[in-house]
Amino acid sequence: MADIKKIGLLTAGGDCPGLNAVIRAVTKAALTRGLEVVGIEDGFAGLIYGRMRELDWNAVSSILSQGGTILGSSNRDNPFRFPRKKADGETEFVDVSDRVLDNIAHAGLEVLVCVGGDGTMSMAAQMAEKGVKVMGVPKTIDNDLAATDVTFGFDSALTTATEALDKLHTTAASHHRVMIMETMGRYAGWIALYSGLAGGGDIILLPEMPYDLDSVCRTVERRNSKGKRFSLLVVAEGARPRDGEMVVRKVIKESTDQLRLGGIGQKLADDIESRTGIECRVTVLGHLQRGGSPTAYDRILGTRFGVAAVELLCQGQFNRMVTLKGTEISSAPVSEVAGKLRRVDPDSEIIRAARAVGTSFGV
């Protein structure tokens, strides 16, 4: 057993339901084993600025069902690429990881538990290279982290998206329109795929399968000719036409995720209307997918992940990320997760199942 006495815990990147379940599980599992837990505020920003506080039983009481994170989060504070204003007003990027190491040492932290997505795991891997013992917990509504079958937060976002599509179904049928629902998903279309399949989407467009506009319009017109005078189209924000580009709303250089996507739904609406003359309406779910209480599944998965993280570090297993493979909790080296995405396979069984019930992917 590893002789660990004090661990630091941070939640970084975009928020999602289930973060507090992990915070609660890590804290309670650690306290039960006689460990001290220090909560680091606002992700890696807390390590850069030294913003930390003790987590005890009271601090994590009654937070299991709460959305968001009691520690706060940030997707702008990469210690290896930290933005700093120069005298001329321009922004430069500097490495402040040595400051982070000093703050970790000053706080007496022996292990850093990092809860986050691909960007967080990349930073955790870099911290490990500098000698910090880390443990990763996979979080992202996009479900796109390598080495794990599921990330917590995905099921909650999926439930929100499916409920929205159910509501759009009735208004689409009433007004004989094409209703387009734009979901999150920059490079992986899991939310669009699963919510589209669960909600009976007629067309699902994914980043992994560039679409052909003629194919999309033919599907809409074919449904109309058969008396189905409405269509439900689900599109991931990172979807793009063949030989086209993703729709980028803006670029934030200071962020760890610089591209802000958004607008593919409206582009599709304009294109479909101009080709078919059929009225289209667009609903962009945006941050609704990140908010609210976690589903029962995410509360349980977050709890399992948090407990497993503490068990692994107590066993002396460091620089790993907790994973779910099938129904079993496991782990993988964080270095093997950093910089890698788990994307939808166009030839997978779930795509074949969707095609078998008449779903079009616009290809």
CATH code of the domain covering residue 304: 3.40.50.450
User: 280-330: per-residue pLDDT in tens?
Assistant: 999 999 999 999 999 999 999 999 999 999 999 999 999 999 999 999 999
Are residues 206 and 89 part of one domain? no
Are residues 147 and 44 part of one domain? yes
* Mean of the per-residue pLDDT values of the chain: 94
Are residues 209 and 145 part of one domain? no
Are residues 90 and 57 part of one domain? yes
User: Domain range for residue 36?
Assistant: 6-152+294-337
Structure tokens at 8: 């630091």
Buried b (16+ CB within 10 A) or exposed e, 29-56: bbbeeebbbbbbbbbbbbbbeeebeebe
Are residues 97 and 109 part of one domain? yes
Residue 155 CA to residue 142 CA, distance in Å, equals: 10
Are residues 181 and 302 part of one domain? no
Mark whether 142 is an active-site residue.
yes
Cβ atoms of 31 and 309 closer than 8 Å: no
Are residues 241 and 147 part of one domain? no
Are residues 15 and 136 part of one domain? yes
Nearest 5°: the CA angle 298, 8, 44 is 80
Amino acid letter, residue 156: S
Number of domains in the chain: 2
Are residues 302 and 253 part of one domain? no
Are residues 138 and 82 part of one domain? yes
Task: Output the CA torsion sign for 352, 206, 159, 26.
Answer: positive
User: 263-275: per-residue pLDDT in tens?
Assistant: 899 999 999 999 9
Instruction: Provide φ and ψ at 346, rounded to 5°.
Output: -60, -20
Neighbours of 207 (CB within 10 A): 23
Cβ atoms of 40 and 71 closer than 8 Å: yes
State in Å, rounded, how far the first CA of the chain is from the last one.
Answer: 54
Are residues 112 and 40 part of one domain? yes
User: 91-119: per-residue pLDDT in tens?
Assistant: 889 999 999 999 999 999 999 999 999 99
Residue 235 CA to residue 280 CA, distance in Å, equals: 14
Of 77, 118, 142, 155, the active-site residue reads: 142
User: 185-236: per-residue pLDDT in tens?
Assistant: 989 999 999 999 999 999 999 999 999 999 999 999 999 999 898 999 999 9
